[in-house]
Amino acid sequence: MPTFVYMTRCDGCGHCVDICPSDIMHIDETYRRAYNIEPNMCWECYSCVKACPQHAIDVRGYADFAPLGHSVRVDRDEQKGTIAWRIKFRDGTEKNFLSPITTKPWGTAIPKLAEVPAPSNEQRDSQLLYNEPKWIRMDDGALRTLKDAGLKLKKGVYY
Amino acid sequence: MGTKTIVEEGIDVLVVGAGLGGTGAAWEARFWGQKKKIVIAEKANIDRSGAVAQGLYAINCYMGTRWGENNPEDHVQYARIDLMGLVREDLLFDMARHVDSTVHQFEEWGLPIMKDPKTGRYLREGRWQIMIHGESYKPIVAEAAKKSADKVFNRICVTHLLMDESKPNRVAGAVGFNVRTGNYHVFKSKAVICGAGGASNIFKPRSTGEGAGRTWYAPWSSASAYGLMINAGAKMTQMENRIVLARFKDGYGPVGAYFLHLKTYTQNALGEEYESKWFPALQKMVGKEYLDPEVSHLTHRPIPTCLRNHCIIQEVAAGRGPIHMVTMHAFQDPHLEEVGWENFLGMTVGQAVLWAATDVDPKNENPELTTSEPYVMGSHATCSGAWCSGPEDVSPPEYFWGYNRMTTIEGLFGAGDAVGGTPHAFSSGSFTEGRLAAKAACKYIDDGKAEGIVVSAAQIERRRKEIYKPLEHYRIYRNAVVAGSVNPHYINPQQGLDRLQKLMDEYCGGYTVGYMTNEKLLNICLKKLKIMEEDLESVAAKDLHELLRAWELKHRHRAAECVTQHTLFRKETRWPGYYYRGDVMKVDDENWHVLTVSRRDPETGEYTMEKAPCYHLVADTEVTEPKAEARVEHH
């Protein structure tokens, strides 16, 4: 299918339409619920599945090679900072996995670069990027140059 | 349909495409241009767009210099070996010396990076890769970009770059349309950083029904990086260097962690190791400089990825397929089993879905591997893209024209897939390239290089007409037939894509012909692409979604043409296993130890091809002529 939407769960909120990277989750005008308009452009990336507040979206593997009778469900919890997966095989076997998705509350650890001290002219004229050189080696080492490395660039011998 | 024109004026830095390259650019631009106007135009939604939309389980480019693991030059040497000698070593060295600061910041922002409990260092998957819990990798970097940008325009399909009319060959912004409202968007900008994507779906995919969506690279990577830049007249490099991936069959699940961390290995249908038996003949094709199994064995020098593909292709052709990944030993360890599954769930959920559907438990059976259709991109283990300037303190004169990561069009910079000659950048390297491009773009503006840009109303109007033509065309001709998709006046975007894939596959070395092409086939390919270009004037879109697909098709078509031109120009088989020139089946260092560079004249559509020198990093004490494959001593 690959993603599909359960009729009785979808309330037409459009979160999946907003997030789909492939622009293939659209609202059906008759039912006012979402559906996948172009399965052969669906990557099974699960962005819409994760975004759906109703858990209305699921995936049925590609018909070209995936037999029926399986499921891979997901629950992404931003508050807890976790993602939980449940894999059900065709033969009924079940596997569960839980992983962290972030170590910090969303966005809190990202500085606003408009508010940090402006770069000096010396920094502008150097090869350094923001937070460098400190953040490269986390010590007092400098940015690597060809000279430090004892190297030069030489034209390929066959040219 | 009635569309409004929405003009965004006075932009300093416009970022086109907000994948890992674009988010890096937007983020860093704010530091060097605290008062500058920074705007992002993204085709989808920045929170889940680009190749990392579904997450990643590893960061494939991390030096670990802080722990003495690798130096930047080590990575350059590795990339050089993997790409059969031909890379932009200045750009690679530059990316590698900065990439660790990018990764350390990711950790600071909340990206969970796995640690080795014994050493406290990042957990290594392989020499260059570290393992992460990266389901939210993209939302995290998107957050950083959003904090830096003045405005983020989601759902804007950028179709063309605007060009300055006061000074030739200078960029002036971009135009596109809103996929939701249909509005025409004009971005007038002093500098543009192209962070758009490389290409899936140029060659016929192995699954052609619903399963066509399960490509290795994202189906929304529509060659826009190349379509935009080639059409504007930027020089391109290494476009012939398409990549073929050996992956788990049908699901295209990644194999890196399996090979490196789980220590799995491959065998043929008879349970035999098969690679080494192809090496003697392969060595005759490529030469000892590029394949020396003995040296590889002694020094852990990697065997180039394309050559390993070649062995799979040969073994299957010899009737001893399928190739299996031997997982049954590794998966007995519950920890490794968990890693194996989470690896898919973090970045290729479709593979987990497939194994669940087919009851494949790698504990009990060894899954199949196969080689994919070819892809054209520049951030994974391959290096198609624009011919860009390197950094001042590294690059030789032929590689330097003032601003790091600037293309041959003034004010147009690249990052990620857009930059040619820089393989093995991956996610962290692409973000780093975006940062480098952003600093250079701000400097370009501060140096007064973007003064006096003129964009006429005529140019803007001409592009508007061009953009909406497919909708117009549909409206005019749809009632010429009763119903259905067959119409003598037009093709729809899917029909066009099918045609592109069929001809690229058959004439330019896709999987159905064993990746084989030759001069004659390539010339036929160019002829058919030319005719197809005429038909693209008659592509019809019934709605905005199809209009998006129409422009993706046009970008893919342009990239495909460039790939074909480059493949024709390089008269050798440099990367067996990626593609073969049947008429010149050997590596020919004497004539082709060079980078290929093309330019398409935007006015005439003619291509000019040239060879550019390939510079290698060598020890500065070296006085004798280096071999083609110069070795760098480890420090």
DSSP-based three-state secondary structure for B617: strand
pLDDT at position B143: 97
Is A47 in CB contact (< 8 Å) with chain B?
A: yes
| Single-letter amino acid, residue A6 | Y
Question: What is the model's pLDDT at position A156?
Answer: 80
Mean pLDDT for B12-17 is: 98
Q: Best interface-test mutation with B: which of A4, A20, A22, A60 has the largest number of B CBs within 10 A?
A: A22
Q: What is the pLDDT of residues B184-205, one digit of tens each?
A: 999 999 999 999 999 999 999 9
3-state SS of B306-369 is HHHHHHHHHHHHCCCCCEEEECCCHHHCHHHHHHHHHHHHHHCHHHHHHHHHCCCCCCCCCCEE
Look at residues B405, B400, B424 and name the one whose alpha carbon lies nearest to residue B415.
Answer: B405
So what's the pLDDT on residue B623? Answer: 52
CB pairs under 8 A between A and B: 322
Verify whether the Cβ–Cβ distance A127 to B391 is below 8 Å: yes
pLDDT > 60? residue B118? yes
- Judge whether B273 is closer than 8 Å to chain A, CB to CB: no
Collect the ranges in chain A with pLDDT lower than 50. Answer: 158-159
Percent of chain B clearing pLDDT 90 (strictly above): 95
| Pair B477, B487: CB distance under 8 Å | yes
Which residue, B136, B245, B337, B207, is CA-closest to A61? B207
Cβ contact, residue pair B66, A101, below 8 Å: no
Residues of B in contact with A136 (CB under 8 A): 65-66, 97-98, 100-101, 104
The whole-angstrom distance between A8's CA and the closest CA on chain B is: 23
Distance CA B206, CA B250 (A): 8
DSSP letter (8 states) at residue B162: E
pLDDT value of position A1: 53
Q: Does B220 touch chain A (CB under 8 A)?
A: yes
DSSP letters of B218-252?
A: -TT-BSHHHHHHHHHT--EE-TT--B--EEETTT-
Of B104, B108, B213, the CB nearest to A62: B213
Residue among B354, B548, B632 minimizing CB distance to A61: B354
What pTM value is reported for the model? 0.97
Q: Quick one: which of B385, B446, B112 has its CA closest to B223?
A: B385
Compute the average pLDDT of residues B329-349: 92
Which of B58, B48, B18, B56 lies closest to B135 in space, CA to CA?
B56
- The region, left, alpha or beta by phi > 0 then psi within -120 to 50, assigned to residue B472 is alpha
Peptide bond before residue B72 is cis, with ω within 30 degrees of 0 = no
Tell me: the pLDDT tens digits for B364-399? 999 999 999 999 999 999 999 999 999 999 999 999
Facing B356 at nearest CB: one of A70, A103, A110: A70
Nearest C-alpha of chain A: how many angstroms from B565?
21
Contact A40 B210 (CB under 8 A): yes
**Phi and psi angles of residue B239, each rounded to the nearest 5 degrees, phi first:** -70, -20
pLDDT of res. B630: 40
Q: Are B572 and B588 in contact (CB under 8 A)?
A: yes
Taking contacts as CB-CB distances below 8 angstroms, the residues of chain A near B132 are none
Partner residue opposite B353 with nearest CB, options A61, A64, A155: A61
Test A43 with B53 for CB contact under 8 angstroms: yes
Q: Check if B443 contacts A (Cβ < 8 Å).
A: yes
Please give the full DSSP string across B163-227, using - where no structure is assigned: E-SSSTTBEEEEEEEETTT--EEEEEEEEEEE----BSSSSPPS--SGGGG--SS-TT-BSHHHH
Whether residue A111 is preceded by a cis peptide bond, meaning omega within 30 degrees of 0, is no
Q: Mutate which of B101, B148, B341, B342 to test chain A, going by most A C-beta atoms within 10 A?
A: B101
Whether B89 and chain A come into contact, CB under 8 Å, resolves to yes
- Mean pLDDT in residue range B409-415: 98
When scoring B135, B370, B394, B574 by the number of chain A Cβ atoms within 10 A, the one with the most, hence best to mutate, is B135
Average pLDDT, chain B: 96
Residues 6+ apart with CB under 8 A from B245: B216, B252, B371, B372, B375
Contact between A102 and B136 under an 8 Å Cβ cutoff? The reply is yes
Give the Å distances, CA to CA, from B319 to A54, B266, B314, B322. Answer: 50, 16, 9, 8
pLDDT on residue B1: 57
* Residue B616 sits at the chain A interface (C-beta within 8 Å): yes
Does residue B152 sit at the A interface (CB-CB below 8 Å)?
no
| Of the candidate ranges B69-73, B331-335, B514-518, the one whose mean pLDDT is the lowest | B331-335
CA distances from B2 to B182, B197, B472 (A): 8, 30, 11
CA–CA distance, B532 with B343 (Å, rounded to integer): 40
Residues 390-419 of B with CB under 8 A from A: 391-396
Residue of B28, B131, B136 to mutate when probing chain A, most A C-beta within 10 A: B136
Q: Which of B71, B133, B592 is the closest to A101 by Cβ?
A: B133
**Distance from the first to the final alpha carbon of chain B:** 64
For position B632, what pLDDT does the model report? 40
In this complex, is the C-beta atom of A92 within 8 Å of any C-beta atom belonging to chain B? no
Residue B85: closest CA among B307, B398, B387: B307
Do the beta carbons of residue A98 and residue A82 sit within 8 Å?
yes
Q: Which range among B86-100, B113-127, B294-308, B439-453 shows the weakest confidence by mean pLDDT? A: B294-308
Q: Residue B620 is encoded by which pair of tokens? A: 């500065």
pLDDT at B293: 92
What values do phi and psi take at B605, rounded to 5?
80, 5
Tell me the angle at which helices B89-109 and B72-82 cross, rounded to the nearest 10 degrees: 120
B562: Cβ contacts below 8 Å, ≥ 6 apart: B226, B230, B236, B239, B598, B600, B607
State the pLDDT confidence band at B621, using cuts at 50, 70 and 90: confident
- Nearest residue on chain B to A38, alpha-carbon basis: B210
DSSP string, B524-580: HHHHHHHHHHHHHTTB--SSHHHHHHHHHHHHHHHHHHHHHHHHHHS-S-SSTTT-E
Q: Do A153 and B616 touch (CB under 8 A)?
A: yes
> Do A149 and B71 count as a contact with CB atoms less than 8 A apart?
yes
Among the partner-chain residues A63, A67, A76, the one whose CB lies closest to the CB of B210 is: A63
Could you report how far apart the first and last alpha carbons of chain A are, in Å? 52
Are A63 and B211 a contacting pair at CB < 8 A?
A: yes
User: So what's the pLDDT on residue B634?
Assistant: 37
| Contact assignment for A102 to B89 by CB distance below 8 Å | no
H/E stretch holding B13 reads: strand B5-16
Contact flag B548-A23 (C-beta cutoff 8 Å)? yes
Catalytic residue among A43, A85, A106, A135: A43
Interface check A117 vs B, CB under 8 A: no
- Judging contacts by C-beta atoms under 8 Å, the chain B residues touching residue A87 are 341, 352, 356
Q: A159 contacts in B (CB within 8 Å)?
A: 593-594, 611, 613-614
Q: Distance from CA of residue B329 to its chain's centroid?
A: 34
Q: Is A85 a catalytic residue?
A: no
**Cα radius of gyration (chain A):** 25
Q: Does A29 touch chain B (CB under 8 A)?
A: no
* Residue B385 CB partners (closer than 8 Å, separation 6+): B198, B225, B226, B236, B237, B238, B378, B414, B417, B418, B419, B420, B421, B422
CB contact under 8 A, B210 and A103: no
CB B187 within 8 A of CB B463: no
Whether the CB-CB separation of B306 and B84 falls below 8 Å is answered with: yes
Beta-bridge partners for A26: A35
The pLDDT value given to residue B633: 38
Q: At B519, is the secondary structure helix, strand, or coil?
A: helix
Q: Do B621 and A150 touch (CB under 8 A)?
A: yes
Q: Which residues of A touch B65 (CB under 8 A)?
A: 136-137, 141, 144
pLDDT computed for residue B622 by the predictor: 63
Comparing CB atoms, the residue among A90, A110, A141 nearest residue B357 is A90
**What SS3 class is residue A141?**
coil
Nearest CA in chain B to A116: B31
Query: Can you tell me whether residue B512 is helix, strand or coil?
Result: helix
Q: Which of B91-105, B452-466, B612-626 has the lowest mean pLDDT?
A: B612-626
Q: Could you identify the residue written with the tokens 């007038």?
A: B188
B634: contact with A, CB 8 A cutoff: no
Q: How far apart are CA B295 and CA B273, in angstroms?
A: 19
**Interface contact B148-A114, CB threshold 8 A:** yes
A122 interface with B at CB cutoff 8 Å = no
